[in-house]
Amino acid sequence: MIIPRGRNPRTIRCDPTYTYFKPRGIPLSEIVDDVTITLEELEAIRLTDLESLSQQEAGEKMNISQSTISRHLVAAHNKIAKALVLGLAIRIANPTDFFHCDKCGHTWHSTTVGQCERCSSTEFHIHGPSNEV
């Protein structure tokens, strides 16, 4: 049996004032799809793109590895590109958007309650990340 290692607590210092962005000229009531950027992805963008830190330096500030920062950046950049090209809204996930599966232990972000992304279980609970926010 393989036991996955625990997730390191992330240090996230950005506390976004605005958590939803939509294309201009489209009423909110007509928005049918959006992309969700996690707080980890937003912090990785803030540190590398806005603060001009290297991925290694950003990883040290967030208490995660450079390879994890890289994965967050790729995911965030892909989501932002999709939103810009396809005219989708962008949602910034809240800490309360974290779900933890009781069956397989997977943790994910979502804005709707459904099922585990990994094992499709409906046995999960909402939990907040262990961060400094």
**128 pLDDT exceeds 60?**
no
Q: Which residue has the higher pLDDT, 1 or 90?
A: 90
Rounded to an integer, the average pLDDT of 2-14 is 61
- Residues with Cβ within 8 Å of residue 87, at least 6 apart in sequence: 23, 26
Domain count, the chain: 2
Domain that residue 78 falls in? 32-93
CA atoms within 13 Å, Cβ hemisphere of 120: 0
Q: Which residue has the higher pLDDT, 97 or 39?
A: 39
**Residue 26 within a domain:** no
Considering all CA atoms of the chain, what is the largest pairwise distance in Å, rounded to the nearest integer? 53
> What pLDDT does 132 receive?
32
**Residue 118 within a domain:** yes
**Residue 22 within a domain:** no
Question: 88 and 103: one domain?
Answer: no
> Which tens digits make up the pLDDT trace of 103-126?
898 887 765 556 788 898 877 765
Question: 109 and 122: one domain?
Answer: yes
CATH number reported for the structural domain that contains residue 67 in this entry: 1.10.10
Question: 105 and 58: one domain?
Answer: no
**Residue 8 within a domain:** no
Q: Please, which contacts does 99-103 make with residues 24 or more away whose CB atoms are closer than 8 Å?
A: 99/124, 99/125, 99/126, 99/127, 100/124, 100/125, 100/126, 100/127
> Which tens digits make up the pLDDT trace of 48-70?
999 999 999 999 998 899 999 99
Q: Which residue in the block uniquely carries the two structure tokens 């099922």?
A: 115
**34 pLDDT exceeds 80?**
yes
